[in-house]
Structure 1
Amino acid sequence: MLKQYVVDAFADKLFEGNPAAICVMQTWADDKLMQLIAMENNLSETAFTVKEGEHYKLRWFTPGGEIDLCGHATLATAFVLMNYVDKNMTKVHFQTLSGELIVTKTDDFYELDFPRFQLQQADITEQMTQVIGFKPVEAWLGRDLICVLEHEEQISKVKIDLENAKKLPGLLLHVSAKSSQYDCISRSFAPKLGVIEDPVCGSGHCHIAPLWSEKLKKSKLVARQASSRGGTLHCSVDKLRVKLAGKAILYSVAELQLPSF
């Protein structure tokens, strides 16, 4: 049997933010099994972690495959380790496909130290407009594609053409706008990974926060993910890194009935 936690990350209360499943293991399971668990959970991310020496190695699986960086599942994993594995821990170093990631706990907040994606401005295409339903005023490309919309009210009205979204450049698609209540507001979609909409996307804000940091001439931002669940990210941006801070809440603990465990 394998214990699995489900945690709402970047959430101030239960049923907000982005849920992630977390499996803390003694040894690594087969990649195929981890993928099957992620598919069975059908959450945007299932994270698997194993302690190796003084650090933890961390991997993230979507229903559509392994991914190189995930913010909310990293926060959720740190939350589980600090509250249910080692309650004296206030900082954890993760070894990942994106290098070393550090999460630090301060009171109820968990701050992630992540790499910053470098963005290049892209041409606005008719295909982008068709996929989003609104014509972007700007488009930017890093690992993901960001389409900037003119008005924040448009963000909640976006209805993605999922099949055609798979033809756009970038791994994920983010739509974003300047916000009156927050610094920026966004939504994130990942049909290429089997995820229709990511409720709160940490790695996406390694694109979104630097973009709005440059636009607003601010190094510290409060960003709102405007999914149906919603979530708030406190962002700090420098030339190479992005720090994302938020809260997390435990939803469930289960035992997976796996013969090898």
Structure 2
Amino acid sequence: MHLEYHQVDVFSSGPFGGNPTIVYRLDRWLPDELLQRIATEHNLSQTAFVVREGGGWRIRWFTPRVEVPLCGHATLAAAHVLQLIYAEASDTLEFISRSGPLIVSRDSERLWLDLPAQYPDEEGVSLEVQRALGVDIIDVLGANELFVVLESEAAVRACQPDFAALGRLMWIGIVITARGEQHDFVSRFFAPRLGIPEDAVTGTTHCSLVPYWARRLRKNTLSAYQCSRRGGQLACRLEGERVHIGGQVTLMASGRLLAGVGAEQGAA
């Protein structure tokens, strides 16, 4: 049996920008080992798998190396595929995940993901982090990821980290950020321990970026730009203890996985 997949660019108003993501809608779950091998074969930062469950969809995300508990951009990609390809008529979709329920809604311009706010705590600058990033650091905080504040957008763009050194840090991922020149703030995200040296655009890091910059800039509606090589724009709102992250998405390609699923499907 062949499996249909779709590739979506998330947080981009057109093709070849944002974060490319693969989405599979499955009739039932395949073995975990096979899901991981499929994600490794695609070799993008995330491959999302969804299966109908009750009135919603259960979603799982895999990097080329491991399954992760939460991914923002791949959730938006899955919602777009379900609505565009599989005729999900509702403007609001609910996903069930290891991190709890996730709600995606659509307006005339963007898809929006509702996530819990995470306020980073002070960690203090360490020589180990300074050497791994190779840039001057203003502040270091911690949330789900190590959160490093730099002096300018230019410093964020110019950063050339030592990925081997980043991989030896205790943190799963490292986000660097600064005030933006044309946006309220900019960022980049590195996760070599997950098999992602640098992620193109990362929705979940904004769970901590948005509360931090909302407090510093004294505004709850913010524009953000992740200045990776591909780049991506995010519209952000802080509403109480929730962060709403919006972005445009583009369906890039559809195809079928032709090999490697027959025997494993029969054993599932």
Normalized against structure 1, the TM-score is what? Answer: 0.97
Runs of 5+ unmatched residues, structure 2: none
Q: State the match for 1:226 in structure 2.
A: 227
2:181 pairs with 1:180: yes
Cα distance in structure 2, aligned partners of 1:235 and 1:169: 28
8 A contact 1:200–1:231 mirrored in 2? yes
Q: State the match for 2:160 in structure 1.
A: 159
Report SS of the residue matched to 2:85.
helix
* Residues 200-224 of structure 1: per-residue CA shift (max 9 Å, x gap): 0001111211111111111111000
RMSD of Structure 2 on Structure 1 (CA): 1.1
Q: What's the CA shift for 1:118?
A: 3.1
User: What is the one-letter code of the residue matched to 2:15?
Assistant: L
Q: State the match for 1:238 in structure 2.
A: 239
Q: State the match for 1:250 in structure 2.
A: 251
Q: What's the CA shift for 1:9?
A: 0.4
Q: State the match for 1:125 in structure 2.
A: 126
Runs of 5+ unmatched residues, structure 1: none
Q: State the match for 1:7 in structure 2.
A: 8
Q: State the match for 1:190 in structure 2.
A: 191
Percentage identity across aligned positions? Answer: 35
8 A contact 2:119–2:212 mirrored in 1? no
* Residues 44-63 of structure 1: per-residue CA shift (max 9 Å, x gap): 00000001110100111111
Q: What's the CA shift for 1:229?
A: 0.6
Moved over 2 A (4+): 167-170
2:76 pairs with 1:75: yes
* Residues 49-78 of structure 1: per-residue CA shift (max 9 Å, x gap): 001110100111111201111111011000
2:36 pairs with 1:35: yes
Q: State the match for 1:44 in structure 2.
A: 45
* Residues 131-185 of structure 1: per-residue CA shift (max 9 Å, x gap): 1111210111011011100111111111111111022232211110001210001
- Tell me which moved more, 127-136 or 188-197: 127-136
Report SS of the residue matched to 1:86.
coil
Cα distance in structure 1, aligned partners of 2:115 and 2:220: 15
Q: What's the CA shift for 1:87?
A: 4.6
